[in-house]
Structure 1
């Protein structure tokens, strides 16, 4: 059984209230067993639109579930996406208040900055031609669902479990870079916390961005010049808490860091 409009509105309200109160709720897939991915995106849109109405501005998109392991865990065969807003941007050197979140984790990624508007269908080559440059990024993820016990419908409705992003200071032109082969090294408090390579992100981060643009085209939406696209994590997410310091180095692209208070 799918959801009716009243249930969709109530689910969106429950997620928004969980974020406000910092108290996670039961999975939507438990409360509404018939929820579909399409309905989950409608829930996501309700809360994103509410934040925009309150003054936030769209600055990009994020792609999640790009690794085969995560897709297998949630029983799906494609990624998902969420919306990045300007109030999610965190600057390097400014401690992020973990008290504003519920159960935060962090991931290392490559961020694309679009140089041109682009509407699907597109190929990875067309994406490459439209990109102004790439930079290392850290994505702080969070779940308004208790204990991270999520299925794809839960994370989609929850804006792909997004919370905040930290973007590197350098923008590197793609040129002849093969992002499949760039290495990632993530450290937490000076100790190795994860490694990976671009090939772990849907085969290539560029393919991941192409997937996003083609998926959004199904709803008549494209990406705009200047938007930031987080292409997906190259290694497992790492829990963070007050006092933690995170540093990501991406081969040939540079580094990015953040700390938590």
Structure 2
């Protein structure tokens, strides 16, 4: 794909983000689009947001668990960039009016205290470089009509990043078994799903190591202070006005989030 089309599609996704109007799947219009093309489009989309005043403050891993892969029809991990305009903290209410077709997923966030530069990073390297972990929600949001995505579409769309909510309970991954710790997700006071860290590439630390190595091959490091979202341990949860979600990680604590308003779709 030539640079002109990469810029065109990156700009389309940015305008979809700003206007909250979804666009036709890219793969439907460009059947020969490659994963490499899609990441270049993502880079353009993110660059437009940075030019508008946001900062890159972390990274996210997507499509790591089977329930999410089955829903999306995407069977390999991908990644996106976390931007300063995406951040919420526990206790905030998320305005659905800023999103198009949101769905929530519960996962573990890693906050780094040291830089990591792949390739060659192991899960143990990730643990050593982590300051603390937090329960969190990522609210994914596709700029592609009706979530009709393949891997190329979601990659180009910054791994379907929407916003994310960090819990307040900090845990030391050297003392917490993040692989075997169970996660319970409740929606409006009722059990929605259960999960475990091992559902994410065998361990959330494995997923973070995969991303460190994948980005390292592209010359992109993890930096101290960055937030890394390690991938969903739950099924995707549709959310509407008035919903409240709570995810609880065994031995760590909970993250709670409320939603108000109406999404664009």
Relative to structure 1, is the Cα distance of residues 129 and 89 closer, same or farther in structure 2, using a 3 angstrom cutoff?
A: same
Counterpart CA distance in 2 for 1:109 and 1:73 is 17
Question: Would you say how many aligned residue pairs link Structure 1 and Structure 2?
Answer: 259
Residue 118 of structure 1 corresponds to 116
Please list the CA deviations of residues 103-155 of structure 1 after superposition, one character each: whole Å capped at 9, or x if unmatched.
00000000001110010121111111111111101001000111111000100
Residue 241 of structure 2 corresponds to 242
Q: Quick check: 188-197 or 171-180, which moved more?
A: 171-180
Q: CA deviation at 1:69?
A: 5.1
Counterpart CA distance in 2 for 1:178 and 1:110 is 12
Residue 221 of structure 2 corresponds to 222
Residue 153 of structure 2 corresponds to 154
Relative to structure 1, is the Cα distance of residues 69 and 237 closer, same or farther in structure 2, using a 3 angstrom cutoff?
A: closer
Residue 46 of structure 2 corresponds to 48
Q: 1:34 aligns with which of 32, 54, 61?
A: 32
Please list the CA deviations of residues 162-203 of structure 1 after superposition, one character each: whole Å capped at 9, or x if unmatched.
110100112211124221111111111111121100011111
Residue 263 of structure 2 corresponds to none
Counterpart CA distance in 2 for 1:74 and 1:235 is 14
Q: CA deviation at 1:78?
A: 3.1
Residue 65 of structure 2 corresponds to 67
Structure 2 counterpart SS, 1:226? coil
Please list the CA deviations of residues 178-233 of structure 1 after superposition, one character each: whole Å capped at 9, or x if unmatched.
21111111111111121100011111000000000000011111100010000000
Q: TM-score, normalised by structure 2?
A: 0.94
Q: 1:101 aligns with which of 99, 102, 106?
A: 99
Counterpart CA distance in 2 for 1:76 and 1:161 is 12
Counterpart CA distance in 1 for 2:47 and 2:16 is 17
Residue 195 of structure 2 corresponds to 196
Q: CA deviation at 1:74?
A: 6.0
Counterpart CA distance in 2 for 1:146 and 1:175 is 42
Structure 1 counterpart SS, 2:255? strand
Counterpart CA distance in 2 for 1:72 and 1:238 is 14
Residue 58 of structure 1 corresponds to 56
Counterpart CA distance in 2 for 1:205 and 1:4 is 36
Counterpart CA distance in 2 for 1:33 and 1:107 is 29
Counterpart CA distance in 1 for 2:210 and 2:131 is 18
Gap runs ≥5 in structure 2: 261-265
